[in-house]
Amino acid sequence: MTLRLEAINTGYGQVQILYDLSLEARPGEVLCLLGRNGAGKTTTLKAIMGLLPLRSGSITLDGQSLSDLPAHQVPGQGVAYVPQGRRLFTELTVAENIEIGLMTRGKSHRTRDRVLSMFPRLQDRLDQPAETLSGGEQQMLATARALCLEPSVLLLDEPTEGLQPSMIALIADTVRAMRTEGQAVILVEQRIDSVLALADRVAFIENGRGREVMDTADLRDDPSLVRKYVGI
Amino acid sequence: MDFGPHLLLAVLEGAVGAAVLALTALGLSLVFGVMRVVNVAHGEFFMLGAVVAWFIASPIAAHPAIGFVAALAIAPLVAGGIAVVVDRLVLKRVEYDPEATIVGTIGVLYIIQQSALMIYGPEARPVEPPFNHRIALPWVEWGDSGLSFYYPWGLSTTSYKLFVIVAAVAILVTFWSVMSRTRLGLIMRATQLDRETAVAFGIPVQRVYSIVFGFGAALAALSAVLIVPIQQAHYLMGHDPLLLSFIVVIIGGLGSVRGTVVAALLIGMSDGIISVFLSPTLSKILATLLVALVLVFRPQGLYGKKMA
């Protein structure tokens, strides 16, 4: 399913963060949002999830409006979110966090088994409170919880933040698997090596405004844009 | 009466108070835990439970148990229903802002209280207990022939008071089961832990808030129905439960179910014992002093988590 943002304007309270931002995430591709801290990448994901009301513009999924829905109905349309910092329900067990993900779209335990097979380490920790997991395991759980929706669009906000290389590789494998299954993935990522390895297209955001959108292959040939918009 | 039997009597009185206090405070704690709303009108939902119980039970001329059971079923529904309306008309409109909800619930407190005065009147009225047999309690003494039981004069309780303790424990266990074993409980706990993420996983937080506010008020009303055959229904009876519930919730830790129950036992039992041996006023002074000490040395309460 194609997710389309058209000239969206949003922000927090009186402070406007995004200005006429337009994007498109297509099925079977990984779109990476790149920009400096505070550019509006996380705000874009929150706006897609309906967590921030739009001042103007529209967000549609295969032509169906998401921005007209109450926020809690957005995930039911097949949009799953892995927030920055994982935002697990820390005092709930691993199994209960998974259960929340399954409840969202009424998925069965067959979905749970399939998701857990992707993250076998969680299988041994089902009765453990989420707050007792390591950072890498918490990221696995946050991703597993989102995958329990069997989403057609997956939003990942800095999933490799603070993780060791083996965990980063696991997350990268998961993203590739999503792409292979035909899901659209929107990835916010600071690690340029991860971006170049995973993304099909890159969208640069600067001060809440959309700038260039380009194929990753072109970015490899001209890394000056990364310096321009990200500063590294 | 000797000290031992006297102490047993005080403990029993304290247990009745603790049981009812645990239920009342649990409602307050649940609302604060999930919604972050300090419900200053919580005592009025307690009063509403008692007053509605009187309205339901008093016209029923048959056995008092019929009126009592009807009150037990209907009064919490009425209080819960009114709380849901308050949530929709007041709390939702101020977007659950912590300061605005305090002011809003103060307004609700006076509206409910003065409505009760106009409709129910200023009198204190009893609700007949469904049963109320006197039960003499035995004590032990060491005599010439060894250990023996005897029944000291004045050492007794009633079957209804024992029922209140058992019923409160049963309700607490049911509450715990709902919170820990059911889908509704899971949704409430998830909302309590992270409202925004709960929304991002399809939880209708607005509806959850209405249910929780109604549920909290219903718990207060339920505890009032249990206690109204021992005390009397009066339009100002909500003050003490509100104060004690705040004391319990602060000592136990805001939003902690376990802390609320432990603190209710501590405050309820000490209130009963100190009231019997010394004076009820002194018990309130000591409880308030305990709150001050908790706020100074352990602001998060016994089982609360430190704010980040």
pLDDT at A232: 63
Cβ atoms < 10 Å from Cβ of B182: 11
Task: Name the residue in chain A with its Cα closest to that of B205.
Answer: A72
Would the pLDDT of A96 be above 90? Answer: yes
Residue A137 is given by DSSP the state H
Is A51–B200 a contact, with Cβ atoms under 8 angstroms apart?
Answer: yes
- pLDDT average, residue stretch A103-119: 91
B→A contacts (Cβ < 8 Å), by residue, are 183, 186-187, 189-190, 193-194, 196-205
Pairwise CB contact (< 8 Å): A104 & B194: no
Query: Secondary structure of chain B in the HEC alphabet?
Result: CCHHHHHHHHHHHHHHHHHHHHHHHHHHHHHHHHHCCCCCCHHHHHHHHHHHHHHHHCCCCCCHHHHHHHHHHHHHHHHHHHHHHHHHHHHCCCCCCHHHHHHHHHHHHHHHHHHHHHHHCCCCECCCCCCCCEEECCEEEEECCEEEEECCCCCEEEHHHHHHHHHHHHHHHHHHHHHHHCHHHHHHHHHHHCHHHHHHCCCCHHHHHHHHHHHHHHHHHHHHHHHCCCCCECCCCCHHHHHHHHHHHHHHCCCCHHHHHHHHHHHHHHHHHHHHHCCHHHHHHHHHHHHHHHHHHCCCCCCCCCCC
Residue from A2, A19, A1, A22 nearest A11 by CA: A19
In whole angstroms, what is the distance from residue A112 CA to residue A116 CA? 6
The pLDDT score that the predictor gives to residue B303 is 85
pLDDT recorded at residue A55: 95
Distance from CA of A221 to the nearest CA of B (A): 38
What's the residue count for chain A?
Answer: 232
The answer to whether B19 touches B242, Cβ cutoff 8 Å, is no
For residues B175 and B170, give the distance between their C-alpha atoms in angstroms, rounded to a whole number. 9
Rounded distance between C-alpha atoms, residue B103 and residue A29, angstroms: 51
Burial class (CB in 10 A: 0-12, 13-18, 19+), A22: middle
Question: What span, in angstroms and rounded, lies between the C-alpha atoms of A217 and B240?
Answer: 71
Weakest-pLDDT range from A49-58, A140-149, A185-194, A200-209: A185-194
SS3 call for A171? helix
pLDDT in tens, A180-226: 999 999 999 888 878 888 899 999 999 999 988 989 888 887 777 77
Report the alpha-carbon distance of residue B76 to residue B130 in Å, rounded: 18
Query: Which amino acid is residue B173, in one-letter code?
Result: V
Output the CA torsion sign for B25, B27, B28, B32: positive
pLDDT of B152 reads 77
Task: Map out the domains of chain B as residue ranges.
Answer: 14-130+183-297
What amino acid is encoded at A147 in this protein? L
Residue type, B45: F
The alpha-carbon gap from B91 to the nearest alpha carbon of chain A, in Å, equals 19
CB-nearest partner of A72 from B189, B194, B204: B204
What is residue B306's predicted lDDT score, i.e. its pLDDT?
67
Check B202 against A51: CB less than 8 A apart: no
How buried is residue A118: exposed, middle or buried, by Cβ count under 10 Å (0-12/13-18/19+)?
Answer: middle
Q: How far is A83 from chain B (nearest CA, A)?
A: 8
Distance from CA of A204 to the nearest CA of B (A): 25
Pick the closest to residue A117 from A151, A147, A82, A81 (CA basis).
Answer: A147
The whole-number pLDDT of residue B256 equals 85
Q: What are phi and psi of B162, to 5 degrees?
A: -65, -40
A205, A21 contact by CB (below 8 A): yes
User: Average pLDDT, whole number, for chain A?
Assistant: 91
ipTM of the complex: 0.92
Q: Any bridge partners for residue A64, and if so which? A: A61
The domains of chain A, with CATH numbers, are: 3-78+151-230 (3.40.50.300), 90-149 (no CATH)
Nearest CA in chain B to A47: B200
Tens digit of each residue's pLDDT, chain B (308 residues): 677 788 888 889 899 999 999 999 999 999 999 999 999 999 999 999 999 999 999 888 788 889 999 999 999 999 999 999 999 999 999 999 999 999 999 999 999 999 999 999 999 998 999 988 888 888 888 877 788 877 777 778 889 999 999 999 999 999 999 999 999 999 999 999 999 999 999 999 999 999 999 999 999 999 999 999 998 999 999 999 999 999 999 889 887 888 999 999 998 888 888 888 888 888 888 888 888 888 888 888 888 776 55
State mean pLDDT over A163-192. 90
Sign for the pseudo-dihedral over CA of B279, B282, B286, B288: positive
Which neighbouring-strand residues pair with B142?
A: B147
Are B186 and A70 within 8 A, CB to CB? no
**Per-residue confidence (pLDDT) for residue B307, from 0 to 100:** 58
With an 8 Å Cβ cutoff, the interface of chain A facing chain B consists of 49-51, 70-76, 81, 83, 87-92, 96, 99-101, 103-105, 145
